[in-house]
Amino acid sequence: MTRFALPWLALLLVLAVPAPAAAQQAAAWEPLCRRMDRPPPRPDTGYAATVEDLGHGTVFRCTLRRGGPVRTVRLGGNGGPQTLRIERPDGVRLQSFGLGEANQEPGRGSRFFRALDLNGDGWTDLAVLLAWGVHGEEYYAVFRYDPVRRRFVRDTVLAGKIEPGRGRGCVSEWSRGAFAMRQEDFCWRRGRWQLTRDERTEWNPDTRGGVPVVRTRRALRGGHLRVVAVDTLREGGR
């Protein structure tokens, strides 16, 4: 083998390395519903984007499983999502959920509706944005599809800002309060969510000359969450 072939061999080895699990999970989180009442406002189909859209009602055609049954999902509200209705393609109503009142008018382009396979079981789950905050917080009502009962069920664990987690069937949930921020990782195991990791960051608003931050990390060890690191730093530092 000549010395000129070595760089090409290295490049082939790099390309052959599989993508990280989180990247693979993110790629699988493509929208599984298609907007039906009008052309979508953005290429990432599956999202209701504006308050005006909700006022007139939004309609989605959702595939419950790749190549499987189809459902019509209707989302409505005034200033925010307030009702969610599940129908068969022929218009027969199957389920209806009340979502309550939105706490404030969202910014344009907010993702009111997300259709994703959250727990990695191959079935489409729904997430509807209920509330939002000035620091980017998002709070959702999550509806998992239960293939045994053949219906959507309200999830009682997930509620915060949801992003792909570490591995198949895992999600990362982010929430923030006045002086604390938390990120939690959940994985779907044996028919329920298991908390596998969390990170809590707290700061003291009364301190002068910079705000000390305490960051506590816990991870699953021996079947229990245990503290693995505690860091003290200044806001914006590491």
Confidence at 94, pLDDT banded by 50, 70, 90 = very high
Residue type, 132: W
Q: Give the pLDDT confidence score for residue 191 in this predicted structure.
A: 92
How much is the average pLDDT of 95-105? 75
Residues 6+ apart with CB under 8 A from 205: 179, 211
Residue type, 202: E
Q: With a cut of 70, say whether residue 54 has pLDDT above it.
A: no
What pLDDT, on the 0 to 100 scale, is given for residue 113? 83
Tokens of 42: 């953005």
Task: Read off the pTM.
Answer: 0.74
Convert the pLDDT of each residue in 3-18 to its tens digit. 444 443 333 333 333 3
Nearest residue to 62 (alpha-carbon basis) of 117, 141, 130: 117
**Nearest Cα residue to 72 out of 31, 37, 116, 102:** 37
Q: Is 41 within 8 Å of 52 (Cβ atoms)?
A: no
Q: Counting Cβ atoms within 10 Å, is residue 139 exposed (0-12), middle (13-18) or buried (19+)?
A: middle
pLDDT band at 24 (very low <50, low <70, confident <90, very high): very low
User: Which residue from 26, 29, 22, 23 is spatially nearest to 117, judged by alpha carbons?
Assistant: 29
The confidence band for 151, taking pLDDT boundaries of 50, 70 and 90, is very high
Amino acid sitting at position 36: M
Query: What order do you get walking across the sheet with 170-176 strand by strand?
Result: 161-164, 170-176, 180-189, 192-203, 212-221, 224-234
pLDDT mean over 143-149: 94
> What is the reported pLDDT for 180?
83
Rounded distance between C-alpha atoms, residue 60 and residue 79, angstroms? 19
What integer is the mean pLDDT of 107-114?
Answer: 68
User: What is the structure's pLDDT at 31?
Assistant: 61
Across the beta sheet with 58-63, the strand order is 33-35, 58-63, 70-77, 81-87, 93-98
CA–CA separation, 62 and 78 (whole Å): 23
For 72, the 3-state DSSP assignment is strand
pLDDT confidence of residue 224: 83
222: its two tokens: 């021996």
Q: Is the pLDDT of residue 111 over 50?
A: yes
Q: What average pLDDT does range 214-233 have in this prediction?
A: 85
Domains in the chain: boundaries? 21-234
**Mean pLDDT score of the chain, rounded to an integer?**
76
CA 130 to CA 136: how far, in whole Å?
A: 13
Q: Which residue did the predictor score with more confidence, 11 or 104?
A: 104
State how far the Cα of 45 lies from the Cα of 21, in Å rounded to an integer.
Answer: 24
pLDDT-derived band at 208 (thresholds 50, 70, 90) equals low
pLDDT in tens, 43-53: 554 454 454 55
Give the pLDDT mean for 49-77. 78
